[in-house]
């Protein structure tokens, strides 16, 4: 297992099946805050659901696919980042995030996403990384901008939530752009 320092006494670590109880407690604090912005299958309501989510991502990571990484602040799981999709054969991945309200505004998500992008481009040789968010999720769009991503388009009414349809923005950065614009405060790749 690895643990990388971020900032503000925060660490980035793999989020694994044995974290199910901690993940369930975290979801109790974050659930209603993140529900409008993340996929329905990610938001869990109990310990069994937490185990199922972590198991699903563990299986996908074992197949060289998606993966979850938790952000711990002062020893408490407060959110995380993920590869929502990771396709080494096509050289494309999608990253995302979630965070409970108490941990917002500290730059933790941006810093953790930089670690994922450094690894995806520098170690795995990915060509393209995407970021998908609801068009009305200003905080999420701001992270993609801080990461140097370009807004490539909008999928109209592609996100269904609470009986309404919402547009989804597609942001992306290419490996050559990341190498040129990589922020100097990014954590070095492991």
- Average the pLDDT over 133-143 and give the result: 95
List, edge to edge, every strand of the sheet that includes 150-161: 4-5, 10-14, 67-73, 76-87, 92-99, 128-134, 164-174, 150-161
For residue 187, being part of any structural domain is answered with no
> According to the model, what pLDDT value does residue 189 have?
42
> According to the model, what pLDDT value does residue 188 have?
43
For residue 190, being part of any structural domain is answered with no
User: Higher model confidence: residue 162 or residue 130?
Assistant: 130
For residue 189, being part of any structural domain is answered with no
pTM of the predicted protein model? 0.90
Alpha helices in the chain (DSSP H): 20-34, 47-62, 108-118, 138-146, 175-181
Interhelix angle for 47-62 vs 20-34, to 10°?
100
Residue 44 has pLDDT above 80, yes or no: yes
Distance CA 18, CA 55 (A): 10
First-last CA distance in the chain: 12
For residue 38, being part of any structural domain is answered with yes
Q: Across-strand partners of 169?
A: 133, 154
CATH code of the domain in which 165 resides: 3.40.630.30
For residue 186, being part of any structural domain is answered with no
Distance CA 182, CA 1 (A): 26
- Nearest to 63, CA basis, from 92, 89, 42: 89
Q: Please give the tally of structural domains in the chain.
A: 1
For residue 43, being part of any structural domain is answered with yes
């Amino acid at each position: 297992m690895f643990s990388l320092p971020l900032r503000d006494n925060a660490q980035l670590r793999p989020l694994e099946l044995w974290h199910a109880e901690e993940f369930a407690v975290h979801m109790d604090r974050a659930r209603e805050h993140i529900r409008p912005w993340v996929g329905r299958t990610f938001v869990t309501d109990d310990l069994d659901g937490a185990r199922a989510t972590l198991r699903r991502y563990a299986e996908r990571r074992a197949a060289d696919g998606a993966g979850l990484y938790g952000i711990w602040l002062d020893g408490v799981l407060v959110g995380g980042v993920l590869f929502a999709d990771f396709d080494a054969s096509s050289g494309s991945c999608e990253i995302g995030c979630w965070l409970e309200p108490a941990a917002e505004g500290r730059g933790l998500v941006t810093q953790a996403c930089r670690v994922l992008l450094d690894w995806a481009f520098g170690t795995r040789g990915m060509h393209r990384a995407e970021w998908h968010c609801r068009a009305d999720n200003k905080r999420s769009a701001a992270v993609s901008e801080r990461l140097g991503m370009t807004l490539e388009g909008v999928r109209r009414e592609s996100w269904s939530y609470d009986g309404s349809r919402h547009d989804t923005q597609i942001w992306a950065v290419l490996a050559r752009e990341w190498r040129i614009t990589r922020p100097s405060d990014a954590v070095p790749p492991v």
